[in-house]
Structure 1
């Protein structure tokens, strides 16, 4: 919902709770579903025992949602289908797409299942392979914006912490109880120091001294908008059952404590080797899921086109306005784009660039 109302949706909510048309909405050349998930977030309700606790739960629920949606809209069933997401979508998106791919292969076992015409996935500033990405946390101390974030001692301490973090994450892949230890150590040692810099960790170009970094963007008006009686009535929300809509739900988030440090890279490998198109992009002013770490895990991915992709040149990503907007590396069905002058939320910071980028991806055109 945050993406819908502040990033790539057809209408953006303003601070006075009015709405403004977004000329760069991603539904300009595609039909788009903005899905508020996992279970327990937004207006959804039910016993907490039914809340999702990992990407496998999420993937299954997304698949069955799509089954019901396509049965109600059979005219859309043959259209190319893409799964996109941001941030923790680095887990959700590959998992959901992988589940769809496997379910399509086994559809003969479920004669009533609808084939989902999976064509591609796109993830922006995602957390996909923490073991690789956390090894590049300190790299943002040396950023292209010349923003001072850490002193020499902090940099040295972070470098010493990197192998410890890596070992804990690798243990987590085989021993789930270790995942919480990995999350707490890596977050504290490799993200925590940046919080003392007085900068927005989602966009280092901006100052932020909020104790809760989620408040650096001041999206309170979206919470307010989604809880106004008029909006609730228009959406058919049962206010006697649903909670108030809120940007983040701590109860739901806690359920993913054992999931965050798991890798979703194998899902991406499976998709690539099956011919599914993959776009990974990252705004280069983001600390939380920085572009260096995203580039690193993509290049470490052991898929059939690894050598050719890694040997491909990193070339300018130029928009139709002849603006040098980033750097792109691509080979066959994989592309990685570093987006200049953008933080964690590329469609919000660079709407024109993201609009052209996603449309080229949907249409399978060269970047």
Structure 2
């Protein structure tokens, strides 16, 4: 590091829980007026892994708090997760079934997505890594949504303009007419 300090990067949920616990302890000591307030953690998507880990870490540390340590009891009052990525193996297997069950993909696409899901899950379990780490090949949700014609991922009854079309439009140089087929490809 150019400033001579050594930094570490957290690599798992347990490390994130420990770092956030340390931050909250520092925060509560610097701003004591917040010490008695309730703490809530909310998140979505990958926070489906972080929020429970942070909450479990706080509960565990509160339970084993040494009164002479100088650490404060953190008043964790609740957690919430929306659209959480919590159980990759179960969720990866569920996407093809959800799309097929709602008539968004045909049986051939369903079979292909199921086969890819199983392949990705096998590879993930061999490497002991998250399914999403090899996102390009194993983005079962993204590939399934493409096979379904890109419905809105939050309400598959709707077909909105995909964000990629918007970004592609913004990338068209101003000097070209918007209807030039060369620029829209």
TM-score, with length taken from structure 2? 0.68
The separation in 2 between residues aligned to 1:157 and 1:80, in whole angstroms, is: 48
Bigger RCO of structures 1 and 2 (CA < 8 A, at least 6 apart): 1
For 1:125, what is the secondary structure of its paired residue?
strand
Instruction: Map residues 62-73 of structure 1 onto 2, 5 A cutoff.
Output: 62-73=20-31
For 2:84, what is the secondary structure of its paired residue?
coil
Greater share of residues in strand:
1
The separation in 1 between residues aligned to 2:163 and 2:106, in whole angstroms, is: 18
For 1:116, what is the secondary structure of its paired residue?
coil
* Residues 194 and 201, structure 1, Cα contact 8 Å, conserved in 2: yes
1:121 aligns with 2:85: no
Greater share of residues in helix:
2
* Residues 100 and 106, structure 2, Cα contact 8 Å, conserved in 1: no
| Gap runs ≥5 in structure 2 | 171-185
Q: 1:110 to 1:125 in 2, by over 3 A?
A: farther
> What is the root-mean-square deviation of aligned Cα atoms in Å?
3.5
**Which residue of 54, 62, 65 maps to 1:96?**
54
TM-superposed CA distance for 1:125, in Å, is: 0.6
The separation in 1 between residues aligned to 2:130 and 2:62, in whole angstroms, is: 34
2:112 corresponding residue in structure 1: 157
TM-score, with length taken from structure 1? 0.38
1:80 aligns with 2:38: yes
1:190 aligns with 2:140: yes
* Residues 100 and 118, structure 1, Cα contact 8 Å, conserved in 2: yes
Of structures 1 and 2, the larger Rg is shown by: 2
* Residues 165 and 186, structure 1, Cα contact 8 Å, conserved in 2: no
Cα deviation, 1:135-167, whole Å, max 9, x if unaligned, reads 1011331576x7x3x333111112233444444
For 1:50, what is the secondary structure of its paired residue?
coil
TM-superposed CA distance for 1:60, in Å, is: 1.4
Q: 1:152 to 1:48 in 2, by over 3 A?
A: farther
* Residues 165 and 182, structure 1, Cα contact 8 Å, conserved in 2: no
* Residues 37 and 75, structure 2, Cα contact 8 Å, conserved in 1: yes
Query: How many residues were matched structurally?
Result: 162
